[in-house]
Structure 1
Amino acid sequence: MTADSAPRTETEWLTIPQVAEILGESLGRVHRLIDENQLVASRRDGAWKIPALFLKEDRPLSSLRGTVIVLHDAGFSDDEAIDWLLTAEDTIGLAPIEALRAGRKSEVRRVARTLA
């Protein structure tokens, strides 16, 4: 199955103000979280948005930052990183974001390192 035909995990897309409200943080703080790779945003429907799956228990998913850094090191843009995280990965057996949420960060990062 190619990446284009692989099933994608459905997620709600949150605007930056929505994320700020969920986190109880300022807009500036959310922008810093994006700058620090603790969250990743993409322009969708004209606004910067973040997949809701990147949050867990009203906090940024703790394993996301290191994984995004590995993907950036492999040459992925933010949009490409988001797409990879949300698309089923044969070697993992599900979408990487689902594996991260299940505590399988080592496995996800191992696969991500092979993408360079």
Structure 2
Amino acid sequence: MGRDRGNPRQGSRTARPGQPGYRLSVPDGRLVPVTEIDAKIEALVPAWLTLPDIAERFGVEVTRVRQLVKEGQLIAVRRGENRALHVPAEFIGEDRIVKGLAGTLTLLKDDGFSDEEMLEWLFTPDPTLPGTPVQALRENRGTEVKRRAQALAV
């Protein structure tokens, strides 16, 4: 069925007690400094929105946006000096989450991807799409993105 990746959430937590500041790099099993993972994500994701920014765009309370993150419909990461939660701007349309994103996140999570791995996959160019999976979702080509996400489980 899916890749044997151990605990699917392991990649987003401190890898082992006594080694704070490191996360387990699931694909190769090595410990990686959090800053290395953060730098990789920063290089891939061009723009970010804070949860209050999204709440204002959607016309809802910030608690509703936090709930969307908790439910897995959005991915939020801590960044910046104050380590506030931020969501990639490309996940947000005019007044809603980009169509197909929540289902794609569910497929990836079910395959054991950490939040960081999902972001990396969504923002890495795929010449067969063409573009990145998140660009394809924004262009209403979600079927192809989901097909590729499902193929990862094989």
Segments of 5+ residues of structure 2 without an aligned counterpart are 1-42
Q: Using the alignment, how far apart are the partners of 2:93 and 2:129 within structure 1?
A: 21
Match of 1:21 in 2: 56
**1:34–1:40 CA contact under 8 A, matched in 2:** yes
Q: CA deviation at 1:107?
A: 0.6
Q: CA deviation at 1:58?
A: 2.2
Q: Tell me which of 85, 101, 107 is aligned to 2:122.
A: 85
Using structure 2 for the length normalisation, give the TM-score: 0.65
Q: CA deviation at 1:49?
A: 0.5
Amino acid at match of 2:92: L
Segments of 5+ residues of structure 1 without an aligned counterpart are 1-7
Match of 1:42 in 2: 77
RMSD: 1.6
Amino acid at match of 2:110: D
Identity across aligned pairs (percent)?
44
Match of 2:28 in 1: none
Q: Using the alignment, how far apart are the partners of 1:25 and 1:82 within structure 2?
A: 25
Q: CA deviation at 1:90?
A: 3.0
Amino acid at match of 2:120: D
Q: Using the alignment, how far apart are the partners of 2:137 and 2:57 within structure 1?
A: 20
**2:99–2:140 CA contact under 8 A, matched in 1:** no
Q: Using the alignment, how far apart are the partners of 1:91 and 1:100 within structure 2?
A: 14
Q: Using the alignment, how far apart are the partners of 1:73 and 1:89 within structure 2?
A: 21
**1:91–1:111 CA contact under 8 A, matched in 2:** no
Q: Using the alignment, how far apart are the partners of 2:99 and 2:93 within structure 1?
A: 8
Match of 1:33 in 2: 68
**1:9–1:95 CA contact under 8 A, matched in 2:** no
Amino acid at match of 1:36: E
Q: CA deviation at 1:74?
A: 1.2
Give the count of matched residue pairs. 109
Q: Using the alignment, how far apart are the partners of 1:102 and 1:62 within structure 2?
A: 9
Match of 2:22 in 1: none
Using structure 1 for the length normalisation, give the TM-score: 0.84
